[in-house]
Structure 1
C-alpha cells in the first residue's frame, strides 16, 4: 500500500506539472510555433498517460485512451526534429503516420481476445517502430549538436530528449523481450511514475527557468575591454542599430569571413574557426548566436557561401561553369546540400536563379546598347 500511495502521489505531481506547462504555454508564450504546439501535445499526452496507467483506474478508460497515447513516440520524434533542425517543417505525411499508429493500436485492442496472435504481432511492430523513431531522434540530436549555437537548447533540451527517449525505449523493449521492472526490485507502475516525473520536472524547469540571455555584443565588448581597453571599435550592430559598440572579436570574425573567406575551407567547424580566432569555442558560439542572430553554425557559413554562389551564377563570364563547380568553390562538399540551402534562401534552384540573373543581365545590356545607339550626336561647328 505504501508503494501504491507513492505511485499515486508521483503521478499526481506529474499530471499537475504537465497541465501547468500546457496552461503557461498556451496562455503566455508567443508566438506558438511548431515546437511549442508539439510540446503542448506531449504535455497533454504525458498527463493522460500518468493518469490512465495509474493503479485502480478502470480498464475501460485505458482501452479508449491508450491507442492515442501509443502514438507518443511519433510526437517525441517530431518534437526532436523540430527542436534540433531549424529547417524542419511538419508535413502531411507526419500526420498520416500518427493516425496510422493510432489505428494499429485500436486494431490491437479490439482483436486482443479474438485474434491474439495478430494483436501480439501489432504490439511487437509498434514497439519496434517506437525504438526506430527514438533512435532516429537521438541521431538527429547527435548529428546537429556541434553546430547548434543556442546555449539553452544545447544544455537543457538535450537532457529532456535523452530522458524522453530512454523512457520510450524502456516502455518498448519490455514488449519485445518480456522484461519486467520487477526484475529491478520495483513495480512497473512505480518505475513509470518516476520516469514521467523526471521528464515533467525537466520540461517545467526549461519553461519556467530559461537560462539568462546576455547580448553577445555587450558581453564581448565588456570582456575585450577588460583585456585591452583600446580594442573596441564602433561598427553596425546585428539588430540594425547604428553607432553601437561591438568587440574586436566580431570585427575579426567579419574579416575572416569576408576578406579571407575561410568559409571556403572544406569541413570547417566552429572549433576550427574558434582556433583561428584564438578564443574559447563557447565565446564564439555566443557571439554568432546572440550578436549576429544565427541559431545554427551551418546557416552562418551558408550565408557567405550562397552569396558567393549567387555572384558567380549572375556573372555572364561564368555562364559555362558547372553549378557543382561553383558550389564546391564556395565551400559546399556536394550538390545536394547546396541545392537545398540555396532554394531555402532564395526560393529558386541554382539553375533557375542563373537563368533569371543572366536574362536580366542580357536585358540590361540590350537596354544600355539601345540608349548608346540612340543618343544624340553633338554637332561640330567650325
Structure 2
C-alpha cells in the first residue's frame, strides 16, 4: 500500500507540473490562471510535506505552500465564478489572519515544542470556513451564471475540488495529533489525482473560450441596438428592460423573466450572454438599475427623495449590495455622486 501512495502522489505531482508549465508558458498574464498556478504549488506542497519530514528547509517550504491552499482556492473561485479581476480585500484579510495563526502554531510546535490546542482548533476551523465560503460562492452564482459551459462543467469541477478540501479538513481535524491511517492517505492521494484529471478533462472539453474569464467588460446594450430589430426575442428582452422596466422587480430571476417573455430559459441565457455581452444575470440587471438610480440622483426634481427610496424603486433589496455595485460602477458613493451632479441639493 505504501508503494501505491508514492505512485499516486507522483502522478499527482506530474499532473500539477504539467498544468503549472502550461499556465506559465501560455496564460501567465491572466489573473485567474495566476491563482490556479499558485494553487498548483499549494497542492504540491500539501502532497510533499508528509514525505519531507525531517528534511529541514524543504519541509518548511512545503508546509508554507500547503497551508495557503484554502486561501488560493477561495481567490480562484472568486476570479472564476464571480469574475473578480483582483483579490477581494476581505478575502486577503481572512487569508492574512489565517496564515499568521497557522504559521505561528506550526513554529511554536516545531521550534519550541509548545502544543496550543485552542490555536490549532482555530486554525482548523478557519481552514474549514474558507473552504465552505468558496463552495457557497460557487453555488450562489450558479443560477445567475449566463455562460452555459461554465455553468455546467466548470462549476461542477470546482465544487468537487471544494468538497474535497472540506473532506480533507474534517479527516485531519478528527485525526488530531494521531497518525492518519495509511489507507486514508492512499484514498486522499487518489482523490487528488481524480480531481486533477476531472479538471483537465473539463478544460479540454470547454476550450479556452469556455474556461477562461472574459477579457473585456460587458457590452452596453446600445451596442447591439442595430441588430435587435432582426431578432424578435432580443427585441422583447430590450423592451422589457428599457420600456417596461422589468428590472424593478426585486424578485426577478432568469427563470421568471423567461416565463414572462415566453422564451426558453436556456435560450434567454444564450441571448443575454452572447448577444448582449453579459456573463452574469445580476450584472445584466445592475446595468439597468444603476442607470436609473444615477439618472434620478442627478435630477433636481428628486433631490429631496432619500437615496434608499430611489434604490429600492430601481429593484434593490439590500442597500449594502446597492452601495457596493454603485461604487464599483461610478467609483464613488451615491451621496457623492448626487452632490456632484445635482449641486442644488442642500
TM-score (norm 2): 0.84
Matched, 1:302 2:298: no
* Alpha carbons of structure 1 residues 29 and 206: separation in structure 2 relative to 1, 3 Å: farther
Aligned length: 331
Unaligned runs of 5+ in 1: 215-235, 363-382
Aligned pairs (5 A) from 1:218-257: 246-257=230-241
* Alpha carbons of structure 1 residues 59 and 282: separation in structure 2 relative to 1, 3 Å: farther
- Partner of 2:190 in structure 1? 194
User: Structure 1 CA distance, aligned partners of 2:3 and 2:208?
Assistant: 38
The DSSP-based 3-state class of the residue aligned with 2:336 is helix
User: Structure 2 CA distance, aligned partners of 1:116 and 1:311?
Assistant: 62
Shift of 1:207: 3.2
Matched, 1:134 2:118: no
Identify the match of residue 22 of structure 1 among 20, 23, 26.
20
Matched, 1:36 2:22: no
- Partner of 2:121 in structure 1? 124
Shift of 1:181: 6.8
* Alpha carbons of structure 1 residues 95 and 212: separation in structure 2 relative to 1, 3 Å: closer
Identify the match of residue 160 of structure 1 among 148, 157, 177.
157
Shift of 1:267: 1.0
- Partner of 1:341 in structure 2? 325
* Alpha carbons of structure 1 residues 212 and 280: separation in structure 2 relative to 1, 3 Å: farther
Shift of 1:270: 0.5
Unaligned runs of 5+ in 2: 211-219
TM-score (norm 1): 0.76
Is the 2:45–2:64 Cα contact (8 Å) retained in structure 1?
A: no
* Alpha carbons of structure 1 residues 356 and 20: separation in structure 2 relative to 1, 3 Å: same
Matched, 1:50 2:47: yes
Shift of 1:325: 1.5
Higher alpha-carbon Rg: 1
The DSSP-based 3-state class of the residue aligned with 2:141 is helix
**Greater mean alpha carbon deviation, residues 201-210 or residues 35-44:** 201-210
Deviations 1:138-191, CA, capped at 9 Å, x for gaps: 222222221111223222332222222222222222333238875xxx612211
Deviations 1:231-255, CA, capped at 9 Å, x for gaps: xxxxx99866966985321111111
Is the 1:160–1:199 Cα contact (8 Å) retained in structure 2?
A: yes
Matched, 1:291 2:286: no
